[in-house]
Structure 1
Amino acid sequence: MEWLIAPFEVTFVQRALWGGLLVSGICALAGTWVVVRGMAFLGQAMAQGLLPGVAVAALLGGNLIVGAAFSAGAMAVGVTALGRNQRFAADTAIGLLFAGMLSLGVIIVSRSQSFAVDVTGLLFGDILAIRAQDVVYLAVALAISLLIAVLGHRAFVALAFDPRTAHTLGLRPRWAQGALLGLLTLAIVASFHVVGTLLVFGLLIAPPAAATYWSHRIPVIMALAALFGGVATVTGLLVSWHAGTAAGATIAAIAVGEFFVSAAVAQLRTRLRTRLSANTIRSRTRLAGSGVNVLVLFMVVGAILPLIGCGTSPSDDVVPEEKPHGYVEGAEEADGPQSRLVVADPDGAVRVVDLITEEVTDGGEVPNVVRMTGDGRFAYPITADAARIVDGGAWTVDHGDHVHYYRATTKDVGSVPRGGATGVHSDVVITAMIVDGSMPRTILLDRAALEAGTVTERGVIDGIALPYAEHLVVVSGSGTAEVRDRDGAAVTPLTESCLEPRGSATTRRGVVFGCADGALMVSADEGRFTAVKIAYPQPVPAAERATEFTHRAGSTALAARAGDRGAWVLDSRAHTWVLVETGPVVAANTAGEGSALLTLTRDGVLHAHDLTTGVESARTQVLTAAVSGDTSPVIEIDTNRAYINDAEGRAVHEIDYRDNLRRARTFPLDITPAHMVETGR
């Protein structure tokens, strides 16, 4: 056994052994989350991102660990900052930083007179050169890593499942993501001196990846990863001693080999279990599987290491199964929009009309509805003292370069005990329920909680607050405008004001607020917010102001009633108003550029007008009777069709506005559809 013991009698090999074991523990804690969350590319980029700082430290004769820490910190900050840019995916930002940092490192190193020697040490490390003080540093790093892993465990698990779930649980997903990046940075900085910036990725990824074949519990995966890393360290040092190979590279190669052995034997185990099951020897299947597990541990570890007391883990320790992109639990993904109409009568009956299947389902009872609004998925029947929330069971998720369409069961979510709401706007985190008036206010609801079927208030903001670009754009009752974070803290004031704010809308180009002298539009570009006032072409009396905007989702044109004169068209792209003088209208809407302005007059006639000139191009009688005082007909519009609720006719009419206002379908109802909103957009 002298061949096994002799190398470790040498002092520098002993230090290398301790250093390798400590690094194995650090990489196990960080690497498990890298594997579980699919952050391998980030881990590789972070490892290469050390090169500039290490190179500068080497050239200046400073501490390499300090240089690596500065470089890794810069990389982490860059990844976080660029990852928030909505123009491109996170891996694009990582790739750019990866290439930039690596190039900078090579440029810096090339200034050294000992270029080849320096690069070899930086890229591949020298575990045999570890000093006693380095072992102390690694021990401290392991303690810090363990502390972060323990304190952040619950948040990291929730973040791995769904960031929205983490937010709902109050776990601050951004802080959790930052802590996870810090843990990864610490692991890479602590490990590069052992195996170099290139091979640190092997110890960070291979042992945890191998461990996932033996357990689905995160703490057990971490323990097994540390064990596999330790075995790779011991075996690598032995091979390096006797074969004269590079110690760091040998350790990394053995760690990767452990992964492939685990993968191969896991496949063998699956085949054995299948064969035993086919032979109906069910009582022995579990024992056979356990025997294979022990066999592989013999092969990998080289000794019997029984695992005792695994027990049953809490549900939050389970590694989340990989789900297809766009997967939403409890919902069915479709290949096109799944539009639905939610209608309500004055007595409280609610119905949901599926525009795809033409089925009409019961949506519950909401007595004394005075109006209805929606945010694309949820319908909000409003009463004098509360707002009911109905999940329409259809919604669209727009990722910019592609779109997901979902359908699910309609359900009653709950209510908000505050009446008078006039509009609702949502993003993935916040739903803002706006109550207009002389002193407007906004009730903020947790969006993830709504999607989970519960109502959770986040707070109330004085003024009109619209979720936009991961912030809140707020206009107060006095007219001042500012940007706040989602918790309501001020971020930056806006240069333009909006006196007597009433009415709001969210478009692809920004958010719009109705003002006494026109509209205020706020847009964002790479985190920078800009406010533009779009003034009316001439002074407008209060009765003719645009105070309630309607538009097709994704359109840049908005419509609004203009009192007795007709309807306004606001082009948010050209920053212009057009007044279409049709006389009094009860509803107006537009699909935007290339389509018409649709208006509904009190006599039940639907009109189509040119958006620019206002010239009428078509008209048709839609409603069964003239509009009475207790009904609120609306025009809901999408890319091809418009929908109008006919209270007296107890029906909803579908209009092909591109075909001379042709009535395409009629949906008869068993209630009086006095109020209506479309979901699924």
Structure 2
Amino acid sequence: MHRRTLAGLVGTVTGLTMAATTGCGSTAAAPADDGARSEKGHGAVEGAEEVGEPQLHLTTIDADGAVAQLDLVEGSSAKVGTIGAPSAVESDGRYLFATTAAGVEVVDSGVWTWDHGDHFHYYRGEPTLLGAIDGEGEARVATGPLSTAGSTGIFFRDSGEAVLLDNEALADGEARELFRLDAEPHDGLVAPFADGALVTVADGGEVTALSYRDADGDAVGEQIPCVEASGTITTRVGVVVGCADGAVLATETDGKADFERIAYPEGTTAPRATAFEGRKSRPTVAALSGKTGIWLLDTRERTWTHLDTGTPLRQVVAADDEDGHVLALDTTGRVRVYSAEGGKQLAATAPLVDPGDGGVDLVVDQERAYLNAPDEGVVHEIDYADRARIARTLETPTAPVFFTETGR
């Protein structure tokens, strides 16, 4: 297997810089037309068909592990197979990574988008189950921007094992580990970055820093301070990891890695961000701040914005579209739409779900939001730009205890 290397990283990793230094010269971590990312023909995989539009599906997993898909364009549905009973599910828009008694089981939806920066390629293949990544206890999964290149990180909290999966191998149907590292048990993460990953470093179970590891698992450069690291996401600009005092933003330019600290605004007393959500491959992401607040992190401008909604919230997602929509699921089961400019509420639905139900999730794409109601066996499709109108209520072939939109 060919792997692109981050040539000359040793000695080129810069120190942490403060958020005020915008215009740092870093380029986006989003997909670009380089040799490593074109090996698969811009996302092409043998046996898959390139098509002219995104193949959007809802992929669902019920409480017993039955996996199924609903085609959002054609309306057809199909059962994929059965995995172990899941306790958590993460997705990159193609694969679903389900934590089960077997470890992390991988579901390939068979539909994906290759983001080429200024245009996209869309593919459709057969959905399949790719087996399990061995591990014990709760798993934290972090994904990258592309499903046929780069990697996926898994951290098993109970054992302290840090695993990096090869996405190119996943695309060929093989769950191949690039590295597996042993550390002390802690609430950690493995955030895919460049040819390797940022892995949490703990002392006595408390996270103190991040270590950049190459594709072989070897430490490269100095550790990056990040006390109480929690939450990671890949944006159009780079890889974000939340820290007690703000966030670390990792970017790569011409084979050089740069780690910047984006500190919270001076004097803020708002609770920190511990998890980030946003529309895939956009620069701005959202995070809950306490019970009623929202943090918006603009990784392009290296700035934080705090919104106080006055409403108890359960989940927030940044659409980061032209109108700056921020979506939230509140504790009464309503989906609320806010403006990123000032936090004004623009619209709200009636109560749609019991937000106490396990697995209730809000997923956002360029035009729609999706909210699952597991007890009813449906997913609500919401046009958030049109007064949060319920566009469709979709019956899924298995109860959507866990779900995501795939083909993105």
Q: State the TM-score bracket (shorter-chain normalisation).
A: 0.7 to 0.9
- The structural deviation recorded for 1:430 is 4.6
- The structural deviation recorded for 1:88 is 6.5
Matches within 5 A, 1:41-60: none
Q: Aligned residue for 1:548?
A: 275
Partners of 2:92 and 2:42 lie apart in 1 by: 24
- The structural deviation recorded for 1:335 is 1.1
**Does the residue aligned with 2:170 lie in a helix, a strand or coil?**
helix
**Does the residue aligned with 1:633 lie in a helix, a strand or coil?**
coil
Change (3 A) 1:533 1:672: same
State yes or no: 1:472 paired with 2:201: no
Point out the structure with max Rg over C-alpha.
Answer: 1
Matches within 5 A, 1:69-468: 327-418=44-135, 419-426=137-144, 428-435=148-155, 441-461=161-181, 462=183, 464-468=189-193
Partners of 2:32 and 2:241 lie apart in 1 by: 25
Change (3 A) 1:369 1:489: same
What code does the residue aligned with 1:476 have? Answer: V
1:100-119 CA-partner distances (Å, limit 9, x unpaired): xxxxxxxxxxxxxxxxxxxx
**Does the residue aligned with 1:347 lie in a helix, a strand or coil?**
coil
Please point out which of 293, 315, 319 is paired with 1:587: 315
Change (3 A) 1:586 1:672: farther
- The structural deviation recorded for 1:381 is 1.9
- The structural deviation recorded for 1:489 is 2.1
Q: Which has the higher contact order (CA 8 A, sep 6+)?
A: 2
Change (3 A) 1:327 1:515: closer
Structure having the higher strand fraction is: 2
Partners of 1:509 and 1:335 lie apart in 2 by: 27
Change (3 A) 1:510 1:579: same
Q: Aligned residue for 1:652?
A: 379
Partners of 2:168 and 2:44 lie apart in 1 by: 15
| Preserved CA contact (<8 Å) 2:142 2:190 | no
The percent identity for this pair of structures is 35
| Preserved CA contact (<8 Å) 2:381 2:393 | yes
Change (3 A) 1:677 1:88: closer
**Does the residue aligned with 2:375 lie in a helix, a strand or coil?**
coil
Partners of 1:89 and 1:379 lie apart in 2 by: 27
| Preserved CA contact (<8 Å) 2:33 2:116 | no
Question: Structure 2-normalised TM-score?
Answer: 0.80
1:123-150 CA-partner distances (Å, limit 9, x unpaired): xxxxxxxxxxxxxxxxxxxxxxxxxxxx
- The structural deviation recorded for 1:557 is 0.9
| Preserved CA contact (<8 Å) 1:517 1:539 | no
**Does the residue aligned with 1:640 lie in a helix, a strand or coil?**
coil
| Preserved CA contact (<8 Å) 1:397 1:403 | yes
**Does the residue aligned with 1:413 lie in a helix, a strand or coil?**
strand
| Preserved CA contact (<8 Å) 1:424 1:431 | no
| Preserved CA contact (<8 Å) 1:440 1:464 | no
Unmatched segments (≥5 aa) in structure 1: 1-85, 91-158, 165-323
What code does the residue aligned with 1:355 have? Answer: L
CA RMSD, aligned part only?
2.7
Q: Aligned residue for 2:333?
A: 604
State yes or no: 1:675 paired with 2:393: no
**Does the residue aligned with 1:658 lie in a helix, a strand or coil?**
coil
Change (3 A) 1:490 1:429: farther
1:380-412 CA-partner distances (Å, limit 9, x unpaired): 122255211110111111233432110111111
Partners of 1:351 and 1:522 lie apart in 2 by: 36
Partners of 2:345 and 2:156 lie apart in 1 by: 32
| Preserved CA contact (<8 Å) 1:346 1:674 | yes
What code does the residue aligned with 2:125 have? Answer: A
Partners of 2:58 and 2:288 lie apart in 1 by: 22
Change (3 A) 1:670 1:558: same
Partners of 2:258 and 2:321 lie apart in 1 by: 24
What code does the residue aligned with 1:333 have? Answer: E
State yes or no: 1:506 paired with 2:234: yes
Partners of 2:287 and 2:156 lie apart in 1 by: 16
**Does the residue aligned with 1:492 lie in a helix, a strand or coil?**
coil
Partners of 1:367 and 1:469 lie apart in 2 by: 32
The range that moved more, 637-646 or 443-452, is 443-452
What code does the residue aligned with 1:481 have? Answer: L
What code does the residue aligned with 2:284 have? Answer: A
**Does the residue aligned with 2:313 lie in a helix, a strand or coil?**
coil
Change (3 A) 1:425 1:670: closer
Partners of 1:561 and 1:88 lie apart in 2 by: 35
| Preserved CA contact (<8 Å) 2:278 2:284 | yes
| Preserved CA contact (<8 Å) 1:507 1:555 | yes
What code does the residue aligned with 1:472 have? Answer: A
| Preserved CA contact (<8 Å) 1:384 1:420 | no
- The structural deviation recorded for 1:513 is 0.3
Q: Aligned residue for 1:637?
A: 364
| Preserved CA contact (<8 Å) 2:139 2:157 | no
| Preserved CA contact (<8 Å) 2:367 2:385 | yes
1:478-534 CA-partner distances (Å, limit 9, x unpaired): 43334332112233236x511111110011111000111221111111122221212
Partners of 1:486 and 1:517 lie apart in 2 by: 29
Partners of 1:657 and 1:399 lie apart in 2 by: 26
State yes or no: 1:573 paired with 2:300: yes
Change (3 A) 1:334 1:611: same
The alignment covers a number of residue pairs equal to: 362
**Does the residue aligned with 1:405 lie in a helix, a strand or coil?**
strand
Change (3 A) 1:417 1:470: closer
Change (3 A) 1:534 1:354: same
Matches within 5 A, 1:528-547: 528-537=256-265, 538=267, 544-547=271-274
Partners of 1:612 and 1:622 lie apart in 2 by: 25
Partners of 1:650 and 1:493 lie apart in 2 by: 49
- The structural deviation recorded for 1:347 is 2.7
Partners of 1:548 and 1:635 lie apart in 2 by: 14
| Preserved CA contact (<8 Å) 2:142 2:233 | no
**Does the residue aligned with 1:476 lie in a helix, a strand or coil?**
strand
Change (3 A) 1:561 1:384: farther
State yes or no: 1:497 paired with 2:215: no
Q: Aligned residue for 1:516?
A: 244
What code does the residue aligned with 2:257 have? Answer: F
Partners of 1:423 and 1:325 lie apart in 2 by: 25
What code does the residue aligned with 1:421 have? Answer: A
